[in-house]
Every structure is written in C-alpha cells, then in structure tokens.
Structure 1
Amino acid sequence: MTMPTPYRRLLMSAALAAGLSGSAAWAEDAAPGITDTSIKIGVSGALTGPVAALGAVDEGIRTKVEAVNAAGGVKMGDGKTRKIELVIDDDALDPQRTLTNVRKMVESDQVFALLGIAGTPNNEAIGRYVDKHGVPNLFMYSGIHELKSGKKWIIGLAPSFTTEAAVFAGYLKATKPDAKVGLLFLNTETGLTFQAGLKAELESSTVQLVSEQPVTATDPTIDTQLSNLKASGADTLVVIAPPKQGAQAVKFAAESGWHPVTMLSYIASSVYALMPAGLDNAKGVLTSQYIKPIDLPAYAGDAGVKRYVADHDAVKPRFETGDALGQMGYLTGEALVKVLEVMKEPSRGAMMEAARQLSNVELDLLLPGITLTTKGADDIYPIESLQLFQFDGAKYQPVGNVLSYEGKTPKS
C-alpha cells in the first residue's frame, strides 16, 4: 500500500530532525580543534620583553611541526593522518597575559590542546582555567611539575629542578666536599624549589650554603646580589635564574676577580645565552643537560641530530642550531607527535592518558640513555636523567656519565 503524501512528508521531516539532533549531540560531545585532517594546538610564550630569549622554545616547536606537516602530517592512533595547526601568541612571560592568551585560544581559536607554555607562574595562572575547561596543557616548559592547580590536565617535560639540584649537590660532595656555596636564585617557585632541593641534598654533608640571594626576571642588573655572594666568602656559585641574569652572574664572577666554581642551571646555560658574558669568561662553567650537544664530534653522524639540522635548514627559524632553548622546543614538538601517534581516540582525555603512559620513548635530541617514561600519578616526570657538562670556552664537554633518577625524582 502506498503511504499518503502528507504522512511521507511528516516521517521524512521527523527523520531529518532526528539526524540533525544526532549531529548536534555529536558536535557537543566532540572536542573542538580537531577534524579528520587537522588538529589545532595553542602555544603562549615570551616572544618579546626582558626574557624574549625564551621565544626560541616556541620557534623550536614551530620548526618540528612545520617539518612534520611538510612530510604529510601525523598518523594518529585512530588511523587518520592530520596536520598540526599552531596558534602562537606572545605573553612576554607575564602570567596574566598567558591567561588572556589561553582564554582566547580556547574560546575563540578553538584549540584542542596547549603546548610548551613556559614559566612556572604562567602555568599556575592558567591552572584553574584548564581544569574547568578540560584542556590538555601538554609538556609545559618548567622544572616544577607539582603545580597547585591544573593537575588533572597538565604534564611537564624538562627534568624537575629538584633533580638538577641533586645532581649539582652530588658533584660538589664528590669533588669539593668543603665547598662554601653562594646561591643566586630566581625568586619564584622555580628558584625556591631548586633552593629547597639543594638544601635537602646538602643537609648531611660538609658542603656549606653560606649565602642566598634572590633575583627577578626583570632586574636590570644583579651586581648587588653578586657582591653580597662574593663578600660571604663563597668559593662556589650556583645559579638558577633566567638567561640574562645567568650571563650577568658569569661575567661578574670572572671580571670581579672572584673566580668561584660556577654551576649554572640548564635554563640559562645555552652557549648563545652566555655570549653577552663573553665566552672566555664562561670557560669552566658547569651545567646539567639532557639534550645532545650537537656541535661535538661524537654527534657528527648521529641520525637524530641530522634530522634536526635538516629540519632547521628547511624551516629557517629565528634561532641558531646550537641554541639549547630552540632545541628544547624541537623536543617538545616531537614529544607532541609521539603522543598523537598513540592516542587511542581523538579526545582530550585520550591525549592526557597517552602523555601519562609513555614508555621509554626516544626523541632525536635526547642524550643517549635518556628517554620519556611516565606512569600515571605514580611517575609524572617524563625526563628524570641528566648529565653534567663543562664549558671549554667554545663548547660544552661531558663530565662523567648520565645520572638517572628514573622513578625517584626528589620531591619539592
């Protein structure tokens, strides 16, 4: 029997309405910023201002992403190949600007996730927001991993500052057990965490912490703090500060006639960051590192280094190949790719699950023997190994072997 036309139209309209309703429900449930062919990622970083050197991290991310996109994109865990669309905004390392940028990225730009945001205060500033909106804050550039807010949706990448403090303390206890240490520290959670870690590691030793001087990222000069450290009788200078203040400390230590043993945190140890101090003045500086020093002959034929150099040549970013901050950004971009490759489904929850269950993941620029491993809440630190290097006036040379704190990163 043929159905009367009015009834056919009524059923067709109902079916169409149901289909539209189903599509709308799917759209509400699906995370924004991802299609079958692309995924949108937001980066907020210091492109201008007193710590604009950190902008090399963002440029490093862009270098890796553009190289991956040029090769066709990333084949993700759901079997679909997508290109990565980056949204990069400047915050000059101002936490309030970081929050403003992130709100714009999430609400207007509709990013799927955030990546490589630098600065402990900056990541603290966006913690509640990313928790509320369920946005992954992936591989932030900070050695503080135990933030007060945003815990559910955040993960770091660089080693904890407590691990670096332990490596520095171990070196002094072994080679200079009667050292008198002067500490120059950034007066934020970054420096305070390192300070607490260093004190804990030196507590039962004969190494003395004789003076501690705070700095801020906006201090134009730090001569007063350094003069106080010198006057304390310290024969060892430990610095956990931004690149500008790190270079100032190295220059002062050399040119004031002080000449202490100088240990510089990895956040300020790039050869390019040291140039304002004069590379001759930096001779002998010790630092910790987890990135391959690509200019050493030992890495001339390294496959990962060759890929990095080729990508750098192709993209032509605004940093030199040997810039450790640019290299850190490149690592961050590659770590993102590794997570995308194993995500079980194109959802924000699946991204965080993948980032929290990494197992011995190799990256092109990580030192041999250092990989990414996480185990959910039991191990939130992707990189837990470091190696000491000493600057010879032109390059960093390795000191000893890689020191592993896998599964035992000191708590802050």
Structure 2
Amino acid sequence: MRLVTVLRGCAIQLAAAALLAASHASAAEPSPGITDDTIKIGVTGPLTGPVAVVGGVAEGIRARVEQANGEGGVKMGDGKTRKIELVIEDDGLDPQRTLANVRKMVEKDKVFALVGTAATPNNLAIGRYISQKKVPNVFMYSGVVALNAPEWEVGFVPSFSTEADAFAEYLKINRPDARVAFLYLNTETGQTFMTAFDGAIEGTAIRVLERQPVTSQDPTVETQLNTLKASGADTLVIIAAPRQGGEAIRFQSESGWKPLTLVTNLSSAYPVLQSVGLENAKGIITSDFLKPIVSDQKSGDEGVDRYLDAIKSANVNFVFANTIGQTGYAIGDALIQSLEKLKQPTREELMKVVHNMDGWKNPLFFDGISMNTKEGSDIYPVEALQLYQFDGQKYIPIGGVLEFEGTTHE
C-alpha cells in the first residue's frame, strides 16, 4: 500500500512538472527592447536640414507617446502596463544616415520596433537590414506601393497611387477636358504617382501636356516651372518635396499663370503655405485622411482636443495646423492601439497585429475613414481620402470621402 502511495505521489509530481514545462513553452520568449515595465521604440527622421518640416512626424509621435506615458502607460494585450521609451535620431532625410541610425537603434539601443520612418528612399534603404534582423518597421510615413520587406513593414499614409486616383476623379467631374502639367519628384514617388494618374485618365478627354522632374535638393525649380507654364496647361499637379512644392505654389500665383493647382500631401502642409504666402496658396486643392484642424482652441471633438492638449504639453516645434505633425500624432496613436492588442511580447506578434487591422479608428481621422489590412492580400491601412481646398486661411473639405479600399495598385 505504501508503495502505491509513493508511486501516486511521483506521478502527480511528474504531471505537475510536465504542466509547468508546457506552460513555459507556450509563453513566448520576449523580443529585445521589451521588459515587464517598458518597451523601447525607435524613430528616425529629418529633424534638421532643408526638409526638416518632415521632422514633424517624429514630433507628433513623441507628443502622443508622452501623453500615453503621462496617463500611466499602455496596458498591453498580455495584461502588463508598460511605458514607451522613444529613441529619436536625426537623418536629414538621407537614406544612408537612416540606415546608420537604424543599425544603432537595433544593435546598441536594442529597440523593439521602428515607427514612422519617413520617405520612400529611406524605407527602401533599410529594407534588407530589418529583414535580416527581423525588426518591425511599422506605420511608415511613405506612400510606397510595393514594400521591399513586406513581412516586417506596414505603411500608414495612403499610397501615392491612391492620391493620384483621387486627383483624377476630381478632374473627371470638375474639369473633364483638363490640360495637365506635372512638376514631379524624380524618384519612385513621382513615377508611381504619374503611372497611376495616367491609368486613371485613360478613355477620358484629360491630357497631360508636359512633365518636368525635380529633386528634393534642387535650389530652385524656376526653369521647370517656366517650361510648364509655356505648355499652355490649365491644370498644374505638384508632386514635390516641401521646398520645391512651395516654390511652385508661389510661382503659379505670382507669375500670372493661375492654373487649377492640385498639390500632393507631400508639400501642402500649412507651414509650407505660410512660407510662400497664404494668399498665393488660395484655391489650391490637396488630399488628406485627417480632420481639418482650423483653431488651437477646444473644438468639442474629443480626438482633436486631446491632440491639442498633447502638442501643447509636449512643446512640439510645429503649429497645430501642421498636417505633418498631425500625421505623426495619428501614427503614435496607431502604435499605441497595436501595443494594446499585443498578446505576446514579440516582434512577430506585433507584425501579426498590424497586418490584420479591421476597422481601426483614429482620433484624427476624417469621419468615415478607418484602418484596414488583411495578411497576405491587403497591406495598405488607409485607402480613402478627402479632398480639401485652401480658402486663403484654412483648408475646407470639398465633396465626400473617396473610397479605394482593396484597390490600391502599382
């Protein structure tokens, strides 16, 4: 009898040990950059230099993260509440500096993930590296069409092809016989936009008369603009970095040309318009997926008011109406939503979450626009846009939301 009791005791101990071992096996080993109390996130962007206005993305992310930390941190899907530690580096929008920053953040700072990486060439520059290291690069500030590290990337802003479709739709309805001139960024950005636009106007009476390339380093684009004006076009489409795009906005007004001017989100931010004179920007049309924020006073919109509180508390270096800074704040909020759904403290789990977004809301998104992805078939979170026209002081929504869900193309 005593032997039977001993054997039973051993069996119970073995079963308990097996159960404990199984429990440990099912609990995923945490990835670098995350503890029970903190999670470290890397941000690289142009904080200085000729395109420092794009640094508003990093500033907006910082404002949202500081807001979350000030409220106690983020309660994540595994039940633990963590504060976010941001590591922010300046790359001047130089792809090689971006790569160097990312190497440092991954290998020295041990970040869990990257967020809000700005510009297409910069994201392309780090694709191979993040694939090798298996580091998430989430909610990129880039309208890239084909991701070069799809397992470890997800974008945020709509594709340039989606913006091209939106502009084409506007012209089909409001200027069906438009004669178009392009000032385009001579990178994948500009080429992607123009290819999509050309496809969208097939079979219509809209014609493209002239195309002139620019780079983000061009000190002036006056020669290109004079060529575009001489083409006889009655519609100007600007796809350029903020400085060159701003020069084009001023030129189309002050030169006496005054075409219908469509400006991509790249260079339509309020600070760009201020730099060239608000009166020169009157009448331009742009697209966005964010709510128009026309005052720094409380509006009664909970999301907008929280944004205003956050940027004031964080003492950001952009004005409240800056759509680039607003996008950064929205990216920060998307990051926090992702972490709230993170059931395992791993990089792989983060990618699973962001590749399967289903109707996620965002406090700054225009009503009717949400974030949706589907692993393996839809990698574009935002595929809807609202068109706006600048009235000399603020952007006014025109028409309804243009929806392109599931149709983003190269």
Shared fold by TM > 0.5?
A: yes
Partner of 1:300: 299
Question: Is the 1:145–1:155 Cα contact (8 Å) retained in structure 2?
Answer: no
Matches within 5 A, 1:77-226: 77-147=77-147, 149-226=148-225
Q: Distance in 1 between matches of 2:146 and 2:99?
A: 19
Shift of residue 313, structure 1, vs aligned partner:
1.7
SS of structure 2 residue aligned to 1:360: strand
Partner of 1:12: none
Question: Is the 1:293–1:299 Cα contact (8 Å) retained in structure 2?
Answer: no
SS of structure 2 residue aligned to 1:42: strand
Partner of 2:311: 312
Partner of 1:227: 226
Amino acid at match of 1:380: I
Question: Is the 2:296–2:308 Cα contact (8 Å) retained in structure 1?
Answer: no
* 1:366 and 2:365 are equivalent in the alignment: yes
- List, as ranges, runs of 4+ consecutive aligned residues in structure 1 with deviation greater than 3 Å: 296-299
In the superposition, relative to structure 1, how do residues 174 and 299 fare at CA in structure 2: closer, same or farther (>3 Å)?
farther
Amino acid at match of 2:164: A
Shift of residue 135, structure 1, vs aligned partner:
0.1
Matches within 5 A, 1:391-410: 391-409=390-408
Shift of residue 145, structure 1, vs aligned partner:
3.7
Shift of residue 298, structure 1, vs aligned partner:
13
Q: Distance in 2 between matches of 1:235 and 1:322?
A: 29
Question: Is the 2:179–2:207 Cα contact (8 Å) retained in structure 1?
Answer: yes
Deviations 1:376-411 (A, max 9, x none): 1211111111011100000011100111111222x1
Question: Is the 2:29–2:345 Cα contact (8 Å) retained in structure 1?
Answer: no
Amino acid at match of 1:181: V
Shift of residue 300, structure 1, vs aligned partner:
2.2
Question: Is the 1:113–1:137 Cα contact (8 Å) retained in structure 2?
Answer: yes
Q: Distance in 1 between matches of 2:319 and 2:403?
A: 29
* 1:355 and 2:354 are equivalent in the alignment: yes
SS of structure 1 residue aligned to 2:359: coil
Shift of residue 49, structure 1, vs aligned partner:
1.2
Deviations 1:108-150 (A, max 9, x none): 0000000100010100000000000000000110011412x22
Q: CA RMSD in A?
A: 1.8
Partner of 1:338: 337
Partner of 1:71: 71
Amino acid at match of 2:137: N
Amino acid at match of 1:163: T
SS of structure 1 residue aligned to 2:43: strand
Amino acid at match of 2:405: E
Question: Is the 1:117–1:141 Cα contact (8 Å) retained in structure 2?
Answer: yes
How many residue pairs end up in the alignment?
386
Question: Is the 1:145–1:380 Cα contact (8 Å) retained in structure 2?
Answer: no
SS of structure 1 residue aligned to 2:184: strand
Q: Distance in 1 between matches of 2:249 and 2:55?
A: 22
Deviations 1:186-220 (A, max 9, x none): 11111111011111111211000111111101111
Deviations 1:61-107 (A, max 9, x none): 00000010010100001000000000000000000000000000000
Deviations 1:212-269 (A, max 9, x none): 1111011111001111111111110001111111110010001111110000001211
Q: Distance in 2 between matches of 1:381 and 1:215?
A: 27
Q: Distance in 2 between matches of 1:192 and 1:76?
A: 40
In the superposition, relative to structure 1, how do residues 138 and 191 fare at CA in structure 2: closer, same or farther (>3 Å)?
same
Q: Distance in 1 between matches of 2:115 and 2:325?
A: 15
Q: Distance in 1 between matches of 2:95 and 2:127?
A: 11
Return the TM-score normalized by structure 1: 0.91
Question: Is the 2:145–2:161 Cα contact (8 Å) retained in structure 1?
Answer: no
Q: Percent identity?
A: 53
Deviations 1:275-319 (A, max 9, x none): 121110110000011111111799922111111111112111111
Q: Distance in 1 between matches of 2:376 and 2:387?
A: 28
Question: Is the 1:164–1:386 Cα contact (8 Å) retained in structure 2?
Answer: yes
Matches within 5 A, 1:227-246: 227-246=226-245
Question: Is the 2:29–2:346 Cα contact (8 Å) retained in structure 1?
Answer: no
Q: Distance in 1 between matches of 2:34 and 2:172?
A: 51
Amino acid at match of 1:368: D
Structure 1: 5+ residue runs without aligned partners? Answer: 1-24
* 1:249 and 2:252 are equivalent in the alignment: no
Partner of 1:30: 30
Question: Is the 2:130–2:152 Cα contact (8 Å) retained in structure 1?
Answer: yes
Shift of residue 271, structure 1, vs aligned partner:
1.5
Matches within 5 A, 1:48-63: 48-63=48-63
Q: Distance in 1 between matches of 2:344 and 2:316?
A: 32
Amino acid at match of 1:190: T
Partner of 1:9: none
Return the TM-score normalized by structure 2: 0.92
In the superposition, relative to structure 1, how do residues 59 and 167 fare at CA in structure 2: closer, same or farther (>3 Å)?
same
Partner of 1:290: 289
Amino acid at match of 1:35: T
Q: Distance in 2 between matches of 1:30 and 1:64?
A: 25
Q: Distance in 1 between matches of 2:145 and 2:399?
A: 27
Deviations 1:28-63 (A, max 9, x none): 953110000000000110011111110111000000
Amino acid at match of 1:141: Y
Q: Distance in 1 between matches of 2:104 and 2:292?
A: 37
Q: Distance in 1 between matches of 2:39 and 2:159?
A: 29
Q: Distance in 2 between matches of 1:377 and 1:211?
A: 38
